[in-house]
Chain A
């Protein structure tokens, strides 16, 4: 099969795609993604990992400064703003997930917002929206270069493979690079791709998104000043193909002026209601349902009467953690999420506090959990299910199964619920004006004349929160 010119086609497409090709469906979906990403990022600025990265990045100074979400006093060079904001977005595993599986928005939005604040050309909201979608589209295309990518990964963490490419494409778009420069941005970015899965479920995982954002941005900037890489980077097995076991790239269609079929049109993302790995969402829904059933059938619901909890889940080693000790492990633990749901009748942001993780009652319940991986449960976010069976000492047994959780692409969050998630997250650091400002700007982004206005709202912190924060670190 002749694979000539795939990279070239990508370079051409990134260069040529125009706002007129954005469909309503895509505009709507991508705005939802932007809003969710911002909220999740704002919340994430309160995490330890974010603060470590921030302290580190403050080693640098620059004349170019971009906003740090949720901070009114600090700004950083765009590269580091993209880095720390990207980390914030993924710090709690609360950001969007796509199919085939990756976290697309966190790799792209922080880079674009950092860039938009420094460009003399002053891109509009529509420019921003277009560039965002270019970055998403490129990621979606690259994920489809491999059958392996359709399943929950085992080798490379997908955002580290396609995320940096998406960021490079989006940044190249916003910078207005030529087709050739766009190609080289992709080539340079490829040399920054690929982080092993072993760092998922650790404090370093958020850096995978932070790094994708910043290194893609850097690749585009380097391409802008003339750095060149391999112009056939996507065509070659020894190019992007090195990150896959099966690699079958295909060209992007020519999109000079006609209609363009965006992947986002056909395949929506999932937004999370729980700051944990996507698979946990099926499990929590099933656990809550089983719990409700037990409560109904038993005269008194007493957790101590639970003898055994059986979880039927897809096989995936890195989310099978029977006794998590850190918050990062807890977010990647079938067992933990099921038990939290059973114990508290809900799983929220607060469920992953260290104090909650250490609860004796939780540990006791964890010791009663068994995990099964039925043969018909495929490790794919499009096909998996989760089942929870609770057995009591009295001999009762309640089983519930979830095939599609609320927030999955088959059952998307309503606009109200999405905005509510954003508000709850953003209010943890922004004042009301900031929260409402962001909602308003994103809602109407295609009419906003200056994209950088978003940054100004992201800096409108609530005084109490910032003071609380400052006292805590001193």
Chain B
């Protein structure tokens, strides 16, 4: 008899030329003994009272930020494209709201899709450690699902917040199944691996599925997970979050109708890959029962939220911006004075782009972000417009950038630093270094800063009364009787 429950996984002996009587071969382990089963149980049994004040507070901040980022994201080309696609392909189904579009409603999965695309369209959404973008994969799905539920069954604000946190927690747990996940990814884009799982978990929770159905929701979602890193820094990247959201919702809906999948999808079974297909090293851990009083990961590990000035990849932005802002401010450097500019950061191929051609590439370019900051004294949403990107002075500066990768600078959002050295024509050398940018989990945005970012995003598409109401409603989310108050303010 082979037990699959264990903290370290021993591979099953591959049978070669050995007699094997039918009754001796492994039977299916009971759900309670599997990692997959423990996840199913957790999702099904967790209650609002398990949310601590810290977790409540942090998650509400995430909800607010995510909505704001989604609202401004609804002004992007990629969003428009995704929306057009859904509208052309499907009749208006009048069910779930689309961020910032008053007269548009879509079927729940498509609403989750386009709102997810909006959220990640500018790389402006939250980042966690180990690295993924958790909220964009979950919030749109939970919103869309809530819109779908009849008035009598509509969740309270607390139910909503709990489901959201379940989706975040599951993602955090799954990221911790692998050491590789602690570093900036090379293979699969993490939101596409854990995002659908988080969305499935959150939706399963909101639908009040039983433990077995919750497990199946995860397993169905696993068959929809995984996209290659090569599509990051392209227009396709925002769809990674859009798809995570909608496919997880879909998995939960299919599970609610009785669709079944592998009951061992999270467990490591030798010779048949489950969720570990997406990892190099894989050490799954069961989730403790909620009754054992274990905290949510969000309690221990906060989110990185990018300040209103920094809609670009985390690795490029925060660190360097602060150095350059300080350099610009102190020395009033003008571009033609710059002989060379040397950027030191961790090694990561997909954010090393000396001459980005599209907005998506620019958001994933150390060099571009450094030069924009040097030129303008800030990096904002405006920095990525075509006009701003095609400036000759920017190009001149870009041609003078050299990128170095010191050995002590690992490709890891928790440990990296950024340093910029500017050599002026006259020979002066200016230096700036940043270990922890404002908005990093070690130096979180204040509530004021967070709201400021939200307002400046949301006001692009919503009238100020709705913007203020949203701030209020999210702040009181855990005390809201009916989450309809939240849903009605989004468009």
Contacts and interface: CB of A to CB of B under 8 A. Distances in A.
Interface of A: 49, 52-53, 55-56, 59-64, 77-79, 154-157, 160, 187-188, 190-204, 207-208, 211, 218, 221-222, 225-230, 232-233, 236, 238-243, 315-318, 320, 322-323, 335, 366-375
Contact of B228 (A62, A157, A160, A239): A239
Nearest to A335: B22
Interface stretch (B89-97, B203-211, B370-378): B89-97
Interface in B424-440: none
Interface residues of B, number: 73
Q: Determine which residue in A202, A322, A375 has the highest number of CB atoms from chain B within 10 A of its CB, and name it.
A: A202
Given A64-B89, A79-B89, A191-B236, A56 B223 contact: no
Contacts of B260: 202-204
Contact of B271 (A211, A222, A318, A367): A318
Contacts of B257: 52, 55-56
12 contacts: A55-B257, A60-B110, A62-B89, A154-B272, A188-B231, A188-B236, A195-B226, A203-B261, A222-B82, A238-B187, A370-B21, A375-B16
Nearest to B25: A322
A196 B275 contact: yes
Given A63-B91, A199-B222, 6 more contacts: A188-B236, A196-B276, A198-B269, A199-B220, A201-B262, A318-B272
A55 B258 CA distance: 11
B265 interface: yes
B227 interface: yes
Contact of B230 (A239, A366, A368, A369): A239
B152 interface: no
Interface of B: 12, 14-23, 25, 27, 78, 81-82, 84-85, 89-91, 93, 107-110, 186-188, 192, 219-220, 222-231, 233-236, 239-240, 243, 250, 253-254, 257-262, 264-265, 269-278, 349-350, 358
B275 A322 contact: no
A208 B259 CA distance: 13
B262 A199 contact: yes
A393 B473 CA distance: 77
A154 B271 contact: yes
The 5 nearest A-B residue pairs measured at CB:
A317-B271, A198-B274, A191-B227, A204-B261, A239-B230
A82 B234 CA distance: 27
B14 A211 contact: no
A259 to B, nearest CB: 33
Contacts of A53: 254, 259
At the interface, is chain A mostly helix, strand, loop or mixed?
Answer: loop
B108 to A, nearest CB: 7
Contact of B274 (A49, A196, A208): A196
B243 A371 contact: no
Nearest to B187: A242
A60 B93 contact: yes
Contacts of B349: 238
B434 to A, nearest CB: 28
A229 B236 contact: yes
A199 B261 contact: yes
Given A77-B90, A222-B81, A371-B15, A322 B254 contact: no
A279 to B, nearest CB: 14
Contacts of A63: 91
A233 B231 contact: yes
Contacts of B19: 370, 372
A318 B107 CA distance: 37
A101 to B, nearest CB: 15
B225 A236 contact: no
A369 B27 CA distance: 15
B84 A225 contact: yes
A156 B228 CA distance: 14
Nearest to B250: A56
A240 B234 CA distance: 15
B253 A56 contact: yes
Contact of A227 (B81, B90, B110): B81
Given A52-B254, A56-B253, A322 B22 contact: yes
B480 to A, nearest CB: 27
Contacts of B358: 228
Given A196-B265, A198-B265, A225-B81, A187 B236 contact: yes
Q: Determine which residue in A63, A203, A221 has the highest number of CB atoms from chain B within 10 A of its CB, and name it.
A: A203
A154 B25 contact: no
A226 B84 CA distance: 11
A239 to B, nearest CB: 4
A59 B273 CA distance: 32
Contacts of A323: 22, 27
A206 B376 CA distance: 54
A167 to B, nearest CB: 15
Contact of B22 (A56, A79, A367): A367
A93 to B, nearest CB: 15
Contacts of A370: 19-22
B180 to A, nearest CB: 13
B228 A191 contact: yes
A228 B233 CA distance: 11
Contacts of A229: 231, 234-236
A40 B278 CA distance: 32
A195 B272 contact: no
Nearest to A230: B230
A60 B188 contact: no
Contact of A203 (B240, B259, B269, B276): B259
Contacts of B273: 154-156, 196-198
Contacts of B272: 154, 197-198, 200, 317-318
Contacts of B254: 52-53, 56
B85 A60 contact: no
A320 B265 CA distance: 17
Contacts of B259: 49, 52-53, 203-204, 207
A218 B12 CA distance: 40
B207 to A, nearest CB: 13
B78 A227 contact: yes
Contact of B91 (A62, A154, A197, A367): A62
A79 B261 CA distance: 22
Contact of B107 (A59, A191, A236): A59
Given A203-B259, A204-B220, A192 B271 contact: no
Contacts of A59: 93, 107-109
Q: Determine which residue in B107, B110, B227 has the highest number of CB atoms from chain A within 10 A of its CB, and name it.
A: B227
Nearest to B271: A317
Contacts of B82: 222, 227
Contacts of A207: 220, 223, 259
Nearest to A204: B261
A225 B22 CA distance: 55
Nearest to A326: B260
A341 B74 CA distance: 59
B271 to A, nearest CB: 3
